[in-house]
Structure 1
Amino acid sequence: MTRSSSSPAAEDTPHPYGLGPRAAAVLVFGASAAVLVVEIVALRLLAPYLGLTLETSTMVIGIALTAIALGSWLGGRIADQVDPRRLIGPALGVAGAVVALTPAVIRTTAEWAPAMLLLIASLTILVPGALLSAVTPIVTKLRLTSLAETGTVVGRLSGVGTVGSIVGTVLTGFVLVARLPVSGILIGLGTLLVVGSAVVEWRTRGWSGSPALTLVVVAGGLATMVAPGGCDAETRYHCARVVADPDRGSGRTLVLDGVRHSYVDVDDPTVLKFAYVRAIASVVDAAFPQGEPLAAHHLGGGGLTFPRYLAATRPGTRSLVSEIDSGVVRMDRDHLGLRSEGGIDVRVEDGRLGLRRLDAGSRDLVVGDAFGGVSVPWHLTTVEAMTDVRRVLDRDGLYVANLIDHGGLAFARAEVATIGKTFEHVALVGDPADIGLDPTAAAEGGNLVVIASDRPVDVRATQKALDARETGWKIATGDDLTSWIGDAQPLTDDHAPVDQLLQPYGPRSSR
């Protein structure tokens, strides 16, 4: 038996619906890429309001996958009942309009109706994701002319859609976010989708219904300019702002994703406004002779408040800072008075990788103050990470870390237990109620500072320094600390459920 010669040549003949193989591939590729762009950018758009947590990422990914499944199912079902030529243009156009409006809608909702934020955010991902995902089954329906080519057409378009998703992911993560603000990415994508809608309408139906949608895109761009929640800079990881202190002309607060991360006095680096920074200064000043220069490494930079303090109070100190966000470093230079001199060397790098590059025994001090949202990045909390910290410290070196937790303080307890697995001597400073030294008061949580070393911690000198800076904090060691830790299990690279242990529900004032 021989097959009809018409099937192999079908790709070369005009399609009865006016949609050739290349046009079909472009539509599927572009729609699939757009879904992933929306998903990734949504994570960044929501970070200032929901935090950069595993739960936020899981929610966005789950909604995006739901949109893909829903769109694929409904798109195929409707394409069997309605002329597919009537569906592609509206799907692209409406999706584009929603995408373009998303920045203004999300930021306005977060400002004026925060209780509705999860619902609105879900819809801004679900609606365009479903509409764009419906394009693949609709186009597939248009391309199928005989059962003999079903496998070829479905397989080809499925592969093209997957490649589009990959390109959308890589393009967004490595190019778009690094060069464009979030609002610009979404408005630009929305514009492209509306333009695509007009082209498809013209090619398949001979007319364009896009003028109204074009007006929506323009309105979205204008609304984004006046919507609340703007940033001085949208960096790779944060929505960043610098806020002037109305009570102190030289005071500046670095705000990342709505959280006050650092306070800097550009004229006087010894001014330490946040209690946890005063506590870290107290610990370090009690541990090392006054004025002695140190070799320090800082995990996380932010506004570089503490490196500046060390440079001012301990001339000759060499501070190496691992800060993953190059945009924050630019903010330090452009808005917070960071100069190239002063013994502060900032490297744009991941903190864990930065530790590995340091020689053994090369540091007197390591300061842990790295945060994504309100949580320490999990890979900086584990026994293995603490082993790296201990390796780079000299024999009398000191590790000091800022922690944030609320509620039952489950993460803080686990992290102190983790550090205790690595260092011989561990202490904890914080509000007496939070560290178990005031049984009459309920723990509220917030900042805690953990101290670790292979030499004994001078409890009396540390407490004296804490009192001198009027922190109101106390220090817990020995049996008191063991009782506070309880049965908390150490964190490891194999099991570090930081986001599940953390209770980030306290006031979003500072870290």
Structure 2
Amino acid sequence: MPTAPLWVLVTLQATIAAASMVVEIVAGRMLAPYVGMSLYTWTSVIAVVLAGFSVGHWWGGRLADRPGVDPMAATGWALAAAALTTALAGAALRASAEPVLSAFPQPVWGITGLTLAAFFLPSLFAGIPAPLLTQVSLSGPSRQGQALGAMFASGAIGAIFGTLLAGFVFISFLGSLWTLAAVTLVYSLGAALCFALAKRFRLIEGVTTVGLVGLSVATALSPSPCTIESRYFCLQSVDVSANPAHITRAMVIDHMVHGISAQDAPDVMFTDHAAMLDALARIRAPNSSPSSFLIGGGNYALPRAFAHRGLTQTTVAEIDPAVTDLAARDFWFDPQSAIILHMDARQALRTDTTRFDIIIGDAFTDTAVPQHLVTREFFELIQSRLTPDGSYLMNVIDYADRMQAVGSVVTTLRDVFPVVEVWAEARRPEPGERVVMVIAAGRAVTPVDSFVVPAPERTSFAALGAGFVDRIAATGFLLTDDYAPIDRLVGPRD
């Protein structure tokens, strides 16, 4: 059996482990434009990748015991297959998205199906080399215990570095597709090294390596669903104009529309929750020039509307600078019209003791809700940053026939605020419909029980009756920093 120095095998195993972990981190980012980024997404990614590694390790062990199999050559072909399937992961994701999500409308199964379609095979083939390379290391002159320990350690160390590089370097500076291209190239070069060590660098191996290098370039140049891929999100700016003379655009963050704005209608909201937040901010304002703090910028429709009305005391906590840049570029927002804090909203409120008349939270986006922004401790922080007559407004999404998420938020807010109201469109929802609501909390009751505003068509919104809100609250429970399973509460129905 051809052998290689132990340091070469250790380095190769560490590199493969690092590359495979880069793919795992990229998987979550690439799934986001189709199914969002949530607890379900990362659970599926981790489970599928570990399943792929497990099958790959088992297969590699079988190959290591098979007579006549050159472990270095087998490792080379496994890496070639890993390079091929990694390069095609983006195409597999695009091709499978519509049929998988149509066949499995339930989010958990849809997310798992997409992850399997795109990322199981890259993980499987990346798992094959470990037992093969370990077999080679044990056949060398080094002591077996030393070789075995070095191979296990190299895999773990490589995985650590791969995770750090993916999160802090590759995705931030290269984006998902260029990162996959880089991993494809690493696997291709690893395959070439293995073929050379096995002394089997024939025409077919050479053509395969050259072809995979070319495929890595094609991967980097393939179309991306993102207008901008930031450190946090896949951002898209989509023209939804009904009339080309009146430009209207939607900002899509990952897979959800986070706001729609029209160039010539800065004070018109195009979604129910934005219309309610805007109207209630005006109705509940304690003075004619209220100060406001917004949790999340989105397409900055609300800060833009506030500025259009002459309000100058607006602060926005938006964690992603790329969201702000896109809002300024494509959504007619003037960054000079507000104070922009590019940090987590809870951190921003904790470090700044300024009190505001209105604080607006827009944290609910499908099944992805920041847990730390819906707890009693966070609402206590909110209360401490409001003026005596100030109000907290937040949007909530829940199923009309379940309402446990809304009930839990109401229960938690009632533990902090004396008055908690729930607002929704003034109509009876369809059975099982997902309903967008806004919760208003503070010391005073809203002076009206309904209002009509454009959203963009004139729409009537009303406060739910107190007795009905009590029944909703009875379905929920207190959310705390220690226990706030909001993903489960707003997630897929049973």
Partner of 2:425: 431
Q: Secondary structure at the match of 1:341?
A: helix
1:403 paired with 2:396, answer yes
Aligned to 1:307: 303
State the match for 2:106 in structure 1: none
TM-score (norm 2): 0.90
Structure 2's unaligned 5+ residue stretches are 104-109
What are the superposed Cα offsets for residues 232-255 of structure 1, whole Å, 9 maximum, x if unpaired?
Answer: 111222221111232253322111
In 2, distance between residues paired with 1:146 and 1:201? 18
1:487 to 475, 479, 491: 475
In structure 2, the residue matched to 1:93 is 80
Aligned with residue 59 of structure 2, among 74, 81, 91: 74
Q: TM-score, normalised by structure 1?
A: 0.87
Cα pair distance change 1:293/1:88, threshold 3 Å? same
- Aligned equivalents of 1:328 and 1:334: distance in 2? 10
- 1:321 equivalent in structure 2: 316
Call closer, same or farther: CA 1:150–1:123 in 2, change over 3 Å: farther
Matched, 1:354 2:342: no
1:122-145 deviations in whole A, cap 9, x for unaligned? 143222212222222211110113
Counterpart Cα distance in 1 of 2:216 and 2:403: 42
Cα distance, 1:457 vs. partner?
A: 2.7
**Superimposed CA distance per residue, residues 98-132 of structure 1 (whole angstroms, 9 cap, x where no aligned partner):** 00111122012214654476445314322221222
Q: Which amino acid aligns with 1:442?
A: P
TM-align CA RMSD: 2.5
Is the CA contact (8 Å cut-off) linking 1:333 and 1:339 kept in structure 2? yes
Q: 2:26 aligns with which of 9, 26, 41?
A: 41
Classify the secondary structure of the residue corresponding to 1:140: helix
The 3 A distance-change label for structure 1 pair 52 and 308 is same
> Structure 1 residue 427: deviation in Å?
0.4
The SS at the match of 1:19 is: coil
Find the partner of 1:237 among 232, 238, 258. 232
Change (3 A) 1:73 1:325: same
Partner of 2:368: 375
**Count, aligned residues:** 478
How far has the Cα of 1:20 moved from its partner?
0.8
| Percentage of matched positions with identical amino acids | 27
**Does 2:462 align with 1:474?**
yes
CA shift digits 1:296-355 (9 cap, x unpaired): 111111111111111212x2432111112222122112222332322x122211122112
4+ long deviations beyond 6 Å = none
- Name the CA distance, whole Å, in 2 between partners of 1:372 and 1:91: 40
Q: 1:390 aligns with which of 368, 383, 386?
A: 383
After superposition, the Cα gap between the structure-2 partners of 1:212 and 1:83, relative to the gap in structure 1 and judged at 3 Å, is closer
The AA in structure 2 aligned to 1:383 is R
Q: CA–CA distance in 2 between the matches of 1:337 and 1:500? A: 36
Match of 2:175 in 1: 181
| 2:115 counterpart of 1:121 | yes
- Letter of the 1:59 counterpart: S
Larger deviation, residues 103-112 vs 486-495: 103-112
Cα pair 2:360 2:392 within 8 Å, conserved: yes
Partner of 2:336, secondary structure, is coil
Counterpart position of 1:6: none
- For the residue of structure 2 that corresponds to 1:104, the secondary structure is helix
Aligned residues of 1:467 and 1:473 also touching (Cα < 8 A): no
**Is contact 1:85-1:205 (8 Å) kept?**
no
Contact 1:63–1:126 (CA<8 Å) still a contact in 2?
yes
In structure 2, relative to structure 1, the CA distance for the partners of 1:225 and 1:446 (3 Å cut) is farther
Q: State the SS of the aligned residue for 2:289.
A: coil
